[in-house]
Amino acid sequence: DQQVKQNSPSLSVQEGRISILNCDYTNSMFDYFLWYKKYPAEGPTFLISISSIKDKNEDGRFTVFLNKSAKHLSLHIVPSQPGDSAVYFCASYEYNQGGKLIFGQGTELSVKP
C-alpha cells in the first residue's frame, strides 16, 4: 500500500523554466512533509519542508505548496538550472509515530541547457 505517491517517474524541463514535481498521499494523519533531492551514488539531501498548518513554504528558488483537502503537494523550482537535475523524493511523517519517514518512489528531473 503506497501511502505517498509520485506518479511521474521522470520530468524534462528547459533551463530557466519552471519545474513542477507532484506528490499525493493517502493517510490523513500525515501532517509534515519534506522534499529530498538525490544525486547518483549519493544519499538524499534535505531540500524543503512544510507543516500541515501552512499551505506554502518558500526557500529561494524552491517553493512547496500543500493542498490538504486534495492530499496533494507540489514542489516548484523557478528558474530551473541544469544542476537541479536529480531524483526528487517526497516524504512524510505521520503524527506521533516517531521518526519513521514514508517516501514516494521519486521523480527524476532533467533540466536541459
Q: Quick one: which of 28, 51, 67, 81 contacts other proteins (CB under 8 A)?
A: 51
Q: Quick one: which of 34, 64, 66, 109 contacts other proteins (CB under 8 A)?
A: 34
Distance of closest approach, residue 110 Cβ to other proteins, in angstroms = 17
Q: What share of the chain is helix, strand, coil (3-state, %, to 5)?
A: 5, 55, 40
Q: Is 95 in the site for other proteins (CB under 8 A)?
A: yes
Residues in the chain: 113
Quick one: which segment of 11-19, 42-50, 55-63, 78-86 binds other proteins (CB under 8 A)?
A: 42-50
Q: Is 93 in the site for other proteins (CB under 8 A)?
A: yes
Q: Which residues 6+ apart lie within 8 Å of 98 measured at CB?
A: none
Q: Quick one: which of 14, 28, 45, 81 contacts other proteins (CB under 8 A)?
A: 45
What sign for the dihedral angle of Cα 86, 87, 88, 93?
negative
How many Å apart are CA 49 and CA 101, to the nearest integer?
13
How many Å apart are CA 35 and CA 90, to the nearest integer?
5
Quick one: which segment of 11-19, 55-63, 69-77, 87-95 binds other proteins (CB under 8 A)?
A: 87-95
**In this structure, which amino acid lies at residue 4?**
V
Binding site for other proteins (CB under 8 A): 4, 6, 32, 34, 36, 41-46, 49, 51, 89, 91, 93-106
